[in-house]
Structure 1
Amino acid sequence: MLGNISDIDLRMLRVFCSIVEAGGFTAAQARLNTSLSRLSVVVRDLEERLGCSLCRRGSSGFQLTEEGQELFDMAQLLFGDIERFRQQANRLGGLARESLQIGTVDSLISLECAPLPLAVRLFRRRLPEVRLNLHMLRPDELEQAVLEERLHLAIGAFHHQLSGLNYQPLFEEEQNLYCSADHPLFTRADTCLSLEDICAAEYVGRGYMTENQRPHGLHFTQTVSAYAMEAIATLVLSGAYLGYLPTHYAAHWVSRGQLRALLPERLAYRSLFHCITRQGQEPKTALAGFIEALEEARQQLADAG
């Protein structure tokens, strides 16, 4: 039985709702970037707090109990009420107290077609009273934060589309596979390189991407994980690993002879970036204004390019 509702209770409820929205523990594992055992512990603790069973797992798949379905429905109402309270409390002081929580992935600043800097400038001209907060997170963290209404809007390259979110295409970013000047493959001409040679090297992957999302289906013998572009670049520059980096981000080191793209005509790919917002969230002056500024910035940059 619940007594006072704590922050821990709210976090457990959000995890439970994410599992339900994902359709089960396995699907929620990548979405929440945590282990199955950790998810099981959270749900078990929540069941112990409530004194009832919330779901069943077995050969028939993930199923909610009647109590689980009722809790999920109540939690959705609760989180909606929390957001409405926050918005209404902000309105007590008028628009001057309204804030907008925006999220993005890292290392976009050198991409000329990325519209965020121009969008911020346009937005600030029109709504200077609104407090703008910018958060830098991984793609999976951005999606979760928007679903949980900790962010109003986020920009990133997302490798699946989750129910409960709106995805609006914005721009593309080219990616290449790089090695550093200290790597054995650096001096090998592309004509002397095979996929077998490349896959035999150690590789640094993006920890938030699953194996089946790896570019071109490449299967490396040995891999390590990193969770930010600077972390990947650091490991690639060490000379110990190959890794994918955005072309614009790597250009500085390429121009200095420190990095080289491997088989770019064959192994390059393009990531599609989206703006995501939560489905069903109440219209908000600041959010609508930022979405409008973002689209205007995207169009201006596309026309200029």
Structure 2
Amino acid sequence: MRGNLSDVDLRMLRTFCAIVEAGGFTAAQARLNISLPRLSVIVRDLEVRLGYSLCKRGKSGFQLTEQGQQTYAAAQELFASVSHFQDRTTSLSQRPRETLLIGAVDALASFEAFPLVRAITALRKVTPETGIELHIMRPDELEQAVLDERLELAVGAFHHHLSGLNYTPLCRERNVLYCSDAHPFFAMKDERLSVDILSEAVYVDRGYLSESRRPHQLRFQHFVNAYTMEATALLIFSGTYIGYLPTHYAQPWVDRGRLRPIRPDSLSFEAQFECIVRQGLEQKPAVSRLQELLLA
């Protein structure tokens, strides 16, 4: 790479590494929330900056060139050095002696069975000097942040198990299909809401999945994407969409008559919540302790 290494170069390298770790451009676009054409432009610009080809795409699939393999390895060393620098400089600042960088999905405050709040409470009692930075992200963003070492630990319902991460089961969350009091289905009995009738409705899909995975093989003809539970709820409240929400999150609105579950006995599903950390890293004592508390 000719010239100084710029912030743009670092961003392009991180994007390239994310594509490699996802196994190709198509899988990476959902994780990064970047279109395929834009990903292609970023890699092409990086190749121009480096002066050589990084990868090949075609009928045989995504393949790294020899230079691409060496560049990926060098980038991992670079990002590890940056993380080490951040750790050293953080220790010199006025922040708490140790700060944990953790992440979680949204809509967990009402999930009483979820152990994160109790684990943080217990950790702070044992080590009150430990600071906490909690970031709310989508599941795919959490996985990428842990892989990039921007987060040390994350909790959520993850739909794929990526290489480079350790997944530890925590608990399960029940999800049910809902409509609002403004939707035509609200006044209809469950017996009338067959799979065929439901499939004609406009569905709120979870846009962070790289493929359309809908419970019970429901095949909606029309759908829109949402990337958080809050966004899903807002679209459902519009009265023009139906979608899945966690029961703990939706229950207050059900009690007030704003939402109704649709065929909860036959169309519900459970999401497995897990704790993730990066493989091959020596964890901080506080990270290991938090893991233990989550499982206790």
Which range, TM-score by smaller chain? over 0.9
Please give the TM-score of this superposition, normalised by the length of structure 2.
0.95
Tell me the CA shift for residue 93 of structure 1. Answer: 6.5
Over the residues paired in the alignment, what is the CA RMSD in angstroms?
A: 1.6
Secondary structure of the corresponding residue to residue 187 of structure 2: coil
Q: Which moved more, 1:228-237 or 1:24-33?
A: 24-33
Matched, 1:244 2:214: no
Structure 1: how far apart are the matches of 2:129 and 2:157? 30
5 Å-filtered alignment, 1:49-64, equals: 49-64=49-64
Tell me the CA shift for residue 113 of structure 1. Answer: 0.7
Residue identity opposite 2:160 in structure 1: H
Q: Which moved more, 1:185-194 or 1:282-291?
A: 282-291
1:156–1:274 CA contact under 8 A, matched in 2: yes
1:95–1:129 CA contact under 8 A, matched in 2: no
Residue identity opposite 2:241 in structure 1: Y
Secondary structure of the corresponding residue to residue 212 of structure 1: coil
Residue identity opposite 2:207 in structure 1: G
Secondary structure of the corresponding residue to residue 4 of structure 1: coil
2:205–2:212 CA contact under 8 A, matched in 1: no
The count of residues paired between Structure 1 and Structure 2 equals 296
Structure 1: how far apart are the matches of 2:166 and 2:195? 37
Q: Which runs of 5+ in 2 are unaligned?
A: none
Structure 2 residue aligned with 1:9: 9
5 Å-filtered alignment, 1:17-28, equals: 17-28=17-28
Secondary structure of the corresponding residue to residue 179 of structure 1: strand
Structure 1 residue aligned with 2:117: 117
Residue identity opposite 1:102 in structure 2: I
Structure 1: how far apart are the matches of 2:224 and 2:26? 22
CA 1:186–1:95 in structure 2 vs 1: closer, same or farther (change >3 Å)? closer
Structure 2: how far apart are the matches of 1:214 and 1:119? 32
Structure 2: how far apart are the matches of 1:19 and 1:233? 31
Structure 2 residue aligned with 1:145: 145
Structure 1: how far apart are the matches of 2:212 and 2:224? 16
Q: Which runs of 5+ in 1 are unaligned?
A: 297-305
Q: Percent identity?
A: 57
Secondary structure of the corresponding residue to residue 75 of structure 1: helix
Secondary structure of the corresponding residue to residue 186 of structure 2: coil
Residue identity opposite 2:72 in structure 1: F
Tell me the CA shift for residue 77 of structure 1. Answer: 1.1
1:179–1:260 CA contact under 8 A, matched in 2: yes
Structure 2 residue aligned with 1:72: 72
Structure 2 residue aligned with 1:97: 97
1:95–1:130 CA contact under 8 A, matched in 2: no
1:100–1:133 CA contact under 8 A, matched in 2: yes
Tell me the CA shift for residue 210 of structure 1. Answer: 3.8
Secondary structure of the corresponding residue to residue 167 of structure 2: strand
2:27–2:210 CA contact under 8 A, matched in 1: no
Q: Please list the CA deviations of residues 59-106 of structure 1 after superposition, one character each: whole Å capped at 9, or x if unmatched.
A: 222111111111011111111122222223334579943211110011
Please give the TM-score of this superposition, normalised by the length of structure 1.
0.93
Matched, 1:269 2:269: yes
Secondary structure of the corresponding residue to residue 142 of structure 1: helix
